[in-house]
Structure 1
């Protein structure tokens, strides 16, 4: 099997091709099962298997947020090349979970102090959220950022390592932001920072498929007056005259409208979430790991962050969530999502039990047939006198017990016998002999 699979001429092919190659010259019972176990435990094959061959686990639903800016998702885009004329190389993005309302700030650098100041600037316009969700970037998990979160009473949530899907809301917005910026500033690439506010307005004005409302409408309770509304007014000369209301009536109606739209948006979000999970789980497999399992982890290569490869094996230390596991990766432990893990199959030690019969003619001549096969003596050798009695018995007790055993000398004998006390009958279901199925023989050997 090593020659057919692991060697240079073997090529580390699959189970079927390796089995066919072996069967062309050799055969033994259970060949296919042995080859299957051997190929699945190949260290090189396990570490070079394509990512798509490992099935993903079922999607877990995120909790629905029904209050604006209760939870926001935060991320960084960059490094953007070329930088803007003012030296901006990165963009800090923020998206609200309830309304999908986005915010973006261009940055010259992404140290913790700069990111914290930009977040405080955004919070001064939209309010301080209760929870923020970020990745494990050093800007977000530093001691300075922890102190900012403590002062503002913000609960900081983080994604697992190398699993941006957990923060998919802001990642999707980042893709839209980069794609739109590329189209808007194709002629003046160093002016991209000037288009961010216009891009944000366009994003806030359009209804979201998941909620059914635009982020601006969910945020302010009214439709924004944008370019399309202005063009309509110029063409139709029809300008809506707002109804005169007092402050109390306006606030009351606005509150009712916001509550109604948010409730509808929440229901639309639930339906969109169920639909997305249905399509995602069509090819998903519920893979579970337990403490002590050996796993391979899909990690970036040392030379390119975007190229991933299987590394390991590492040991699972604990189960910390439905699909999250604490894995010991050497000197420290990290939490990884199940989609980045694959069970490692260890190959058993190379120990084979072999029995060989060696015939030496010179030695066989020294023995005759009777010495090669020794049969046990069927004559009586031991009897009642050979029974050992307990030392605690007195002489009278030993004599009495010896006389009692003398009445059953046929029981105290080393020669096998039979009894008539019990009978056992064997009933056959059929007179036809039972024939065992022969082992399959390769076609070429038939």
Structure 2
């Protein structure tokens, strides 16, 4: 229980759904039916039988985020404590951990929690559990408690439990403040501006976010704050210096590529185009509109969010909305009917390219933003920020059927071109001689230009012998993995024992 920190641990031989259900039922018969149960995304918890049981008992099921242990922080922290206790018990007694689990759980439950100021058992049962220390105290003092009536006992339990909860909340808030103050000591604050030079070694630095608005700092305490320049290159910048990007080609071949680029200026715009070949639709069936309020955003991130929203509005990628929907993609994806259009097989694409002499790899600019949404999809894609209520005009990243829609678009645009393969926005043109290669690249440019698509020159590679495509080095009659992907296997020591051999085979 997250409120009282009351833990419970049960030894199980297997984690199948049927076994877990029995233990959940036993837990409910002892403590009552909970309103919410939070679990990880194991198959035993996501099974239909587990979900049906929770539905019949009226229990909400919350799944924790994968690879984010902070979503179950109290449980994960207790796991560390329990493992330490079990390890110590087994080392000192030499017994199996199953034998000591009930005793260790009793010790944890009667121990006072630092964050609450009470033991978990006291918050659950409203009285101090009679443990070994209390038994020793009774034996030393030798006094028996006076009998008490049932009404007085119930009344005292209620008063004691109410006071304990109030004190626990107060103590928890104090501990949280202490933890925040301790954590904030290591947080980055700045950057700051030097306002005045007092001497060769002393400077006045403005600190507007601190209690002291100005501080005198020695030169040894100062360090320049490097501002990382943006690495994003626009197509117009690359076109202005295209010769340096094609320096590996002979002059005649370089001129052929430059001529192709100049013949299709709209294909290399700095703003993503909007294709007219198809539109993306979102079919949610008869689902009721999902509505969520905006959540609080860190002030430092709020400015970035405003800048991104302004970019979407300025480029026409989003517009003000009056939709009944207001939810993130995650909830919309849950009720969206899937699109089963298949993606190209990566192995087939790589094998076709491997034997070629000239390979050109093309990449599209913000591919999803180049696909329009239908009127129904625009309404369903509505989202809310602390300052705006907008809806997308184009296909947003994270939508459930977005990969299938874009692969369908590529199939329509590039159908019939036998010297071209496309896996989503990764397009590759391959040929055995230069004339065929230039003709093939020009045909692909023509198809993409007719579809009103825009390319990203920063990620394009023209007429190379070997390129990196779908995680493989392809070209010149060879297909080989990237060296970074096999370095662990290459540097793995030669196995000597059976255990080392098994480890090597599993890794390979």
TM category (shorter chain) comes to: 0.3 to 0.5
For the pair shown, the structure with the greater C-alpha radius of gyration is 1
Q: TM-score, normalized by length of structure 2?
A: 0.38
Q: TM-score, normalized by length of structure 1?
A: 0.43
Greater share of helix residues, 1 or 2?
Answer: 2
Higher RCO (Cα < 8 Å, 6 or more apart):
1
